[in-house]
Amino acid sequence: MIATILGARPQFIKAAVVSAELKKLGIEEYIIHTGQHYDANMSEVFWKELELPSPAINLNVGSASPGKQIALMLERLEAYLMPFLDKIRLVLVYGDTNSTLAGALAAANLGIPVAHIEAGLRSFDKTMPEEINRVLTDHLSRIFFCSSAQGVKWLKREGIDDQVYEVGDVMADALTRYLPLAEEKIRLENILPFDAGEQFILLTIHRQSNTMSKDRLASLIEAVGTLGMRVFWPVHPRSQQALKDLKLPNNIHLAGPLSYLEMLKVLNHSYKLITDSGGLQKEAYWLKKPCITLRTETEWVETLENKWNRLAPDTESLRSVFGHGPEAGSWKPLYTYAEPASKAIARILGEIYG
């Protein structure tokens, strides 16, 4: 049996395609939902939309400071996993969230091998909680699934070179599988608060580095307001709190969190993406949408090639790079291989654990 530990929106999307491949091979999987994302628009809708197998349990951890959240997850995960030690061959974790680190810690404490999907990613910004989570998770894991050769390289530099597999990115599999469904089922006019035929920018801001300081967030919003185009911003719950008492420019239109299919539809019909999200940087690249990332660095360094993704850590750089697009004819496949990543992961796990 494989125990898969999930807790946040990006993990639900990734797990949907991997779980489907595990099922094809007859590999038994127990899904444990930590409850890190508990809002229906950030959790429940994804399970329904992506047809994920129902979780064996929801630990209902909910919102808390990172330290308290990880501690609660660790306590509840260990208590839940303990009776199944004779059955669980592996714990599978995704990405870089608090659920990822808590899952890896709980498994390591109980002597259960850990497999990490999206291993080897590095931004080298230790102020980012996600960077701490991914580094610690890699050093707790035994099996490593990397999205690119760069991830393999970073792991090797840290002394990790056993059972490291370069398989590509499961988010590419999800986009390939769900984009046609999004185009068929989702209507832009039901989402956008303006004419769906107008050109618009898709904006997402949710990271602590951009939302913890009111001045920082206000300056970003002011800069986006000067770009001369409509801006559609589906707001993450963390950003909703940070937006209180801030005045928005007239060109910025807010909405609540979108489902995965809705986000794919909107991104696919946008002119450009401005974001601080990791996953959306890749999705924009695959959809050939120019991206501006509101950070000083990105773990997805390959997207920076040929200026498909541009870093804009401050308002001045945001304004300066906005009018510059990628080099003509420069797009090339990234994070994808002949064998889809989700299929390769399931195959490798089947070969290792039978």
Token code pair at residue 52: 């994920």
Helices then strands, each counted (H, E), the chain? 14, 13
Given the residues 33, 37, 116, 206, select the one marked as catalytic. Answer: 206
Q: Which residues are CB-neighbours of 275 under 8 A, at least 6 positions away?
A: 202, 203, 204, 205, 281, 284, 291, 292, 293, 294
DSSP at 8: S
Whole-number Å distance between alpha carbons of 160 and 68: 30
Whole-number Å distance between alpha carbons of 319 and 219: 12
Whole-number Å distance between alpha carbons of 117 and 93: 6
Whole-number Å distance between alpha carbons of 43 and 126: 28
Q: Which residues are CB-neighbours of 83 under 8 A, at least 6 positions away?
A: none
Identify whether 253 is a catalytic site residue. no
Whole-number Å distance between alpha carbons of 128 and 122: 11
Angle at 135 between CA 129 and CA 138, to 5 degrees: 135
Is 275 within 8 Å of 10 (Cβ atoms)? no
DSSP at 338: S
Give the torsion through C-alpha atoms of 182, 188, 191, 195, to 10 deg. Answer: 170
- Using DSSP, state whether 147 is helix, strand or coil: coil
Whole-number Å distance between alpha carbons of 54 and 52: 6
| Beta strand ranges found along 42-85 (DSSP E) | 57-58
Active site residues: 206
